């Protein structure tokens, strides 16, 4: 199947060239054209979704569809900046539209108030990239498998309190270019020693190197077996955030929502039980994920949304522009420690 981005020969107008001048200087005109010819679906307009929307609109995609059936609540107004405080009770996608569009009038921003779960397969096929936030595991796996078959890039992400993650699947053979310093061979001189004959980096010149990367499906990434000797050996290097993600996805599947600060005592017990079930099902010790995480995974924290939304938005931009090495395939952020880690899960 031909890449959707290549079907449309995006033309950069003089006005757009001025608007995106800094970006064109940074990653080149061809990359900006690919980005300018791309349509993106963003599901979920919580705090993380708002950050991703902002970054994609400012980067200059062709079109962005905001999909969310939820109503604006008091928490929505605190967690994200696209909905005005006067919009409580309104649809969250529609309430976010005006401020989102005002970020960059050159981008076609649309609001869709329907449930992402109710969308037919054909709906997703009109996009070059799909980004899912606040969705169930089953839905993410379904959309990931559908998009993979149709050469559509898939991203997932969530923020739970101090913790956040993103996942991306760019296909079996994703191609991109990366800028590298140029090695310059010195002019041949028989009198020079061996050190002088070595190629050296020219700080004033770079070259573009074509590379490829292979990604696995979300289902494969979430169904890693920890029973083999190789997996057991890798367990010590595995971020506990990976198992925390499983726990939070199980909680969402069981309760149809995320942990609620208003129900902290009850939800803390449910999280502990989900932790025990997840680790037992993987034949892992419950000690792998201590109870400490429970107190720090309630609500969406704006600073964490900003960090994870910045990384997630940038990964979408990199994938659509086919410029620079992508994160393969998980990024985990721990706001308590203030650091993030990229790690690959799934078959190699």
3-state SS, one letter per residue, for 65-123: EEECCCECCHHHHHHCCCCCHHHCCCEHHHHHHHHHHHHCCCCEEEEECCCHHHCCHHH
Is residue 150 pLDDT above 50, yes or no?
Answer: yes
pLDDT of amino acid 7: 43
Cα separation, 223 vs 218, whole angstroms? 9
Domain 4-171+302-342 class in CATH: alpha beta
Cα separation, 78 vs 234, whole angstroms? 40
> Where are the chain's structural domains?
4-171+302-342, 174-213, 218-296
pLDDT of amino acid 2: 34
Across the chain, mean pLDDT equals: 90
pLDDT of amino acid 18: 77
Lowest mean pLDDT among 11-15, 236-240, 266-270: 11-15
pLDDT of amino acid 172: 92
Greater model confidence, 228 or 90: 90
Residue 79: pLDDT band (50, 70, 90) is: confident
Cβ burial, residue 338 (10 Å; 0-12/13-18/19+): exposed
Q: Which two tokens stand for residue 290?
A: 């201590």
Q: What is the 8-class DSSP label of residue 228? A: S
Residue 1: pLDDT band (50, 70, 90) is: very low
Looking at the whole model, is its pTM more than 0.85? yes
Cα separation, 109 vs 57, whole angstroms? 8
Cα separation, 306 vs 138, whole angstroms? 26
Are 53 and 66 in contact, with CB atoms under 8 Å apart?
A: yes
- Burial 21-32, CB ≥16 within 10 A → b, else e: eebbeebbeebb
């Amino acid at each position: 199947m031909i890449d959707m981005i290549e079907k449309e020969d995006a033309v950069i107008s003089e006005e757009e060239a001025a608007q995106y001048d800094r970006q064109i200087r940074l990653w080149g005109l061809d990359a900006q054209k690919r980005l300018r010819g791309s349509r993106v679906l963003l599901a979920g307009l919580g705090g993380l979704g708002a950050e991703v929307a902002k970054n994609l609109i400012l980067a200059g995609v062709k079109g962005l569809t905001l999909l969310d059936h939820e109503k604006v609540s008091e928490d929505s107004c605190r967690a994200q900046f696209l909905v005005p405080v006067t919009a409580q009770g309104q649809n969250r996608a529609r309430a976010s539209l005006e401020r989102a569009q005002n970020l960059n009038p050159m981008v076609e921003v649309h609001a869709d108030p329907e449930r992402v779960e109710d969308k037919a397969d054909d709906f997703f096929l009109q996009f070059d990239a799909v980004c899912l936030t606040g969705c169930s595991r089953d839905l993410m796996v379904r959309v990931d498998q559908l998009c993979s078959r149709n050469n559509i890039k898939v991203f997932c992400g969530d923020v739970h309190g101090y913790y956040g993650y993103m996942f991306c699947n760019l296909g079996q053979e994703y191609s991109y270019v990366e800028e590298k310093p140029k090695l310059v061979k010195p002019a041949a001189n028989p009198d020079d020693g061996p050190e002088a004959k070595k190629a050296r980096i020219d700080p004033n010149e770079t070259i573009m190197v074509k590379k490829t990367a292979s990604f696995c499906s979300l289902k494969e990434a979430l169904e890693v077996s920890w029973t083999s000797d190789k997996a057991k050996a890798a367990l010590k290097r595995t971020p506990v955030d990976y198992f925390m993600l499983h726990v939070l996805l199980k909680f969402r599947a069981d309760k149809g929502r995320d942990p609620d600060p208003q129900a902290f005592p009850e939800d803390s017990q449910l999280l502990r039980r989900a932790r025990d079930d997840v680790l037992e099902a993987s034949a892992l010790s419950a000690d792998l994920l201590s109870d400490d995480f429970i107190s720090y995974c309630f609500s969406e924290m704006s600073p964490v949304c900003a960090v994870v939304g910045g990384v997630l938005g940038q990964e979408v931009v990199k994938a659509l522009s086919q410029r620079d090495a992508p994160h393969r395939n998980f990024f985990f952020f721990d706001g308590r420690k203030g650091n993030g880690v990229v790690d690959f899960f799934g078959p190699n």
